[in-house]
Amino acid sequence: MDPHLLRTYVTVARLASFSEAARELGYTQSAVSQQIAALEQDLGAPLLTRRPVAPTQAGERLLEHAGPLLLRLDAARADVARMATAPEHGLTLVSAPTALGPYVLAALPPTGVTLRVLARDEIPAAVATGAAEVGLVDGLAAPSDPLRLPDVAPLSTYGVGEEPVCALLPATHPLARRARLRLGDLADARWLDAPDTGLPLAQLRAANGGRGFRPSLRYDGTDVRTLTALAAAGQGLTLLPRSAATGVPGAVAVPVTEPRLVHRTELVYAGSLSGAAARLAEAVSRS
């Protein structure tokens, strides 16, 4: 199971074509054909139907494995390579949209930082593969509980802060006047389904016993202002850290106090922090 073969296999499966995959990978069609044949022989099972080119049942399983496998492989390579090359001067920081809370903003050095905002579940991969030195992830957790991160690679985490979580309600919402809410009060409402920007509905459902939280509009994107505007316009509810939920025109942020959940932000990095990254972490922990 050469990673090389695996890579061609996923390319062929994605493009549903041997010739296209060959072009993309810089091989001849013949080479791709032989590589797939070799992989199938190695694993002892046909992976693709030809004409049309589509994964078999066994091939589907392999595809599920291939992604994480190749990711980890890249992560390992990046991690080792990082030890060999001299640390750069700039610092690249990737963050989930709502993870960039006040604690971090205040601690950023005046210059030399490149910031990129990604969907939450892309953060660990970006840090692991060396696309960024440091990542910021956030999520819902019981107070002082660590976040549940997908383990794509041996990453270290470091809690930077916790905030109350608020439901963002349109000003006209019947519960908008309340000083605080239980999550169960809102289970039957329609919720914005914004896995990249906000918090995954499945997580809310789990926190509430597995029911409710029917989705309304789905938003794929990483802009929090769009999300808050949607919520203010009554398109659906959403849960945000207090700092992100306050000051939205036409909407009210009401703290959710039951169950006892907080919005937690963690810094993730591979190996040990050095240089600018270490200074950032130290600045964050001081604040």
Partner DNA sequence: AGGATTCCATCAGTACTGCTTATCGAGCAT
Partner DNA sequence: ATGCTCGATAAGCAGTACTGATGGAATCCT
The footprint of a copy of itself (CB under 8 A) covers 1-3, 43-45, 47, 57-58, 61-62, 64-66, 68-69, 72-73, 75-77, 79-81, 83-85, 142-146, 148, 150-151, 153-154, 206, 209-210, 271
Please say which residue, 38 or 119, places its beta carbon nearer to DNA.
38
Query: Residue 80, class by beta-carbon neighbours within 10 Å (0-12 exposed, 13-18 middle, 19+ buried)?
Result: exposed
Classify the C-alpha dihedral 206-159-261-145 as positive or negative: positive
Q: At what angle do helices 3-15 and 29-43 cross, to 10 degrees?
A: 110
1 binds, among DNA, a copy of itself, none (CB under 5 to 8 A by kind): a copy of itself
27 binds, among a copy of itself, DNA, none (CB under 5 to 8 A by kind): DNA
Partners of residue 191 on adjacent β-strands: 215, 237
Cα-based distances in Å from 107 to 101, 179, 246: 10, 31, 21
Shortest distance, CB of residue 176 to a copy of itself, whole angstroms? Answer: 29
Residue 1 contacts DNA per CB under 7 A = no
Cα-based distances in Å from 106 to 101, 240, 281, 286: 9, 20, 12, 11
Please say which residue, 20 or 145, places its beta carbon nearer to DNA.
20
Contact present, 190 and 167 (Cβ < 8 Å): no
Please say which residue, 71 or 281, places its beta carbon nearer to a copy of itself.
71
31 binds, among a copy of itself, DNA, none (CB under 5 to 8 A by kind): DNA
Residue 9 contacts DNA per CB under 7 A = no
Contact present, 248 and 228 (Cβ < 8 Å): yes
Shortest distance, CB of residue 68 to DNA, whole angstroms? Answer: 23
Q: Which helix (H) or strand (E) holds 161?
A: strand 155-170
Residue 19 contacts DNA per CB under 7 A = yes
Shortest distance, CB of residue 146 to a copy of itself, whole angstroms? Answer: 7
**In sequence order, which ranges of the chain are alpha helices (DSSP H)?**
3-15, 18-25, 29-43, 57-84, 102-107, 123-128, 201-207, 224-232, 242-245, 275-286
Shortest distance, CB of residue 109 to a copy of itself, whole angstroms? Answer: 26
Selected range binding DNA among 26-34, 126-134, 193-201, 222-230, rule: CB under 7 A = 26-34
Shortest distance, CB of residue 25 to DNA, whole angstroms? Answer: 9
Could you say which of 10, 11, 33, 152 contacts DNA (CB under 7 A)? 33
* Interaction residues for DNA, span 35-94 (CB under 7 A): 35-38, 50-51, 53
Cα-based distances in Å from 32 to 35, 66, 106, 125, 281: 5, 17, 52, 28, 46
66 binds, among DNA, a copy of itself, none (CB under 5 to 8 A by kind): a copy of itself
Residues in contact with 7: Cβ distance below 8 Å, sequence separation at least 6, in sequence order: 25, 70
Query: Phi and psi (nearest 5°) for 198?
Result: -90, -140
Instruction: Return the residue matching tokens 């997580």.
Output: 203
210 binds, among DNA, a copy of itself, none (CB under 5 to 8 A by kind): a copy of itself
Reading the block at residue 277, the tokens are 């990254």
Number of residues this chain uses to bind DNA (CB under 7 A): 21
Which positions touch DNA (CB under 7 A)? 2, 4, 17-20, 26-31, 33-38, 50-51, 53
